[in-house]
Chains A and B, each alone.
Chain A
């Protein structure tokens, strides 16, 4: 350190550094847990489309999810294996996001008076708040269809198909779900590319382009696919 009075204290060189303790490892954890979610939402979206096959097919599918693997697995056995995996992925994803967001907020405590965004997308700039939006939505979604089974229309809740139709017959419920799908689509658009980049699979301009395309495709297929069921309930195509 020089003797100039204006200098602040100089940080020293780090000793005993470990790869596992770096911010990049946090990013890798986010990427891997994010990919778990991509696999889940893709399967979940596909399952939802069963609603187009009618009351019995949808309910049979819902029941089959619970009896899958019987008698090797207990009732809801597979479901609980998946649930535990998803909860673990959620803890990792949110925990790493929180740690990285905190770092980012302390990395620039004095903000710019003027700052332009030259190339970043809306989806990339809304990852944090979009993620929080999805988390809040997830709580409601689980209360709505899984944990408590709340029928906002006030009807019966013991029939999965009827609960679904009752819920999306309310225009404001459909609107909430569609807004959540916008948040999910934006999150997937940047998240997919970001995960592939974090895992080091985008080493060339062509691979980078492919990863960005994959982000678009997954965002449109998943958010779009999820949106079909509420929309078609509201339009009266899917009905009791």
Chain B
């Protein structure tokens, strides 16, 4: 198939970027979106132009490294990651606009690559439990009710790709934080740090320049792991509880 690609090009963090248009022929519908970009880059290499820089790692939809705004939707029109989006979703002759995640907390490094270090710093502030290293504890010594284990597991599927921030009109990372808060808060091991976790994570979130949540739900619609909105309710509840406990 033949495509018209409109891609954000920006030489480095300081440079002024712009949208540039490319024509690409010979795209197979079996290609993934990233393979399509690989083909484009070969074409650009051949013509002596700088290839388009984009992030990717596992290309299996489990690492959360790749993330592109495709025609105004985070990871494109399917509920999946960009690497698992296939060109059969598009039609011959389509025009596709490709932009990086837009959030001041995710500054553009180059072209379509953004620095998601803000997420790492939020995790550093509370996305962990404290446990003694050394001998592993007996797995069955701490019972976890099945529904809690299930909810925890489901929220742990968040891969931190940043699609929630990219899709949110406020540039909020509430769904990301909510997933982490719920994932750890459902388990007995997550209880000792429960109050400080939510306060520190939200404080870091605000400090990074993410916006506040207005509960409109664009995040959950864009999430490739289908993290539901109730994690934001959980996040708010945990913060309110911490407030009550004097944190």
Q: Which of B35-43, B58-66, B196-204 contacts A (4 or more CB under 8 A)?
A: B196-204
Nearest CB of A to B223, in Å:
11
User: Does A119 lie within 8 Å of B97, measured CB to CB?
Assistant: no
A69 CA / B19 CA spacing, docked (Å): 68
Cβ of A193 under 8 Å from chain B: yes
- Render B209-230 as a binary contact track against A, CB cut-off 8 A, 1 for contact: 1111111111011100000111
User: Does A204 lie within 8 Å of B230, measured CB to CB?
Assistant: yes
User: Does B99 lie within 8 Å of A24, measured CB to CB?
Assistant: no
User: Does B214 lie within 8 Å of A194, measured CB to CB?
Assistant: yes
Chain B residues bordering chain A, tally (CB within 8 A): 68
Question: Which residue, of B69, B228, B232, B239, has the highest number of chain A Cβ atoms within 10 A?
Answer: B239
Cβ of B170 under 8 Å from chain A: yes
Q: Which of B85-93, B101-109, B127-135, B137-145 contacts A (4 or more CB under 8 A)?
A: B101-109
Instruction: Name the CB-closest residue of B to A23.
Output: B212
Given contacts A11-B121, A114-B97, contact A27 B236 (CB under 8 A): yes
B217 proximity list for chain A (CB < 8 A): 119-120, 124
Cβ of B71 under 8 Å from chain A: yes
Nearest CB of B to A20, in Å:
6
User: Does B102 lie within 8 Å of A111, measured CB to CB?
Assistant: yes
User: Does B99 lie within 8 Å of A112, measured CB to CB?
Assistant: yes
- What does DSSP make chain A's interface, helix, strand, loop or mixed? loop
User: Does B211 lie within 8 Å of A21, measured CB to CB?
Assistant: no
A14 proximity list for chain B (CB < 8 A): 125, 200, 203-204, 207
- Render B171-207 as a binary contact track against A, CB cut-off 8 A, 1 for contact: 1100000000000000000000000001110111111
CB < 8 Å neighbour of B240 from A28, A109, A112, A115: A28
A8 CA / B121 CA spacing, docked (Å): 15
Q: Which residues A102-116 have CB closer than 8 A to chain B?
A: 103-104, 106-116
User: Does A13 lie within 8 Å of B169, measured CB to CB?
Assistant: no
- Render B224-247 as a binary contact track against A, CB cut-off 8 A, 1 for contact: 000011101111111110110001
Cβ of B29 under 8 Å from chain A: no
Nearest CB of B to A139, in Å:
25
User: Does A6 lie within 8 Å of B203, measured CB to CB?
Assistant: no
Instruction: Name the CB-closest residue of A to B212.
Output: A23
Count of chain A to chain B residue pairs whose CB atoms are closer than 8 Å in the complex: 195
Nearest CB of A to B75, in Å:
11
Given contacts A19-B243, A22-B199, A197-B233, contact A8 B13 (CB under 8 A): yes
Cβ of A117 under 8 Å from chain B: yes
Cβ of B14 under 8 Å from chain A: yes
CB < 8 Å neighbour of A114 from B72, B199, B222, B237: B72
A11 CA / B204 CA spacing, docked (Å): 9
User: Does B236 lie within 8 Å of A28, measured CB to CB?
Assistant: yes
B125 proximity list for chain A (CB < 8 A): 13-14, 17
Given contacts A6-B12, A113-B97, A197-B215, contact A107 B171 (CB under 8 A): yes
Given contacts A7-B13, A104-B212, contact A19 B167 (CB under 8 A): no
Given contacts A28-B240, A120-B218, contact A23 B102 (CB under 8 A): no
Nearest CB of A to B144, in Å:
18
Measuring CB to CB, which residues of chain B are less than 8 angstroms from any residue of chain A?
Answer: 6, 8, 12-14, 19, 69, 71-73, 97, 99, 102-105, 107, 109-110, 115, 117-118, 121, 124-125, 167, 169-172, 198-200, 202-218, 220-222, 228-230, 232-240, 242-243, 247
- Which A-B residue pairs are the 3 nearest by beta carbons? A200-B237, A17-B203, A107-B171
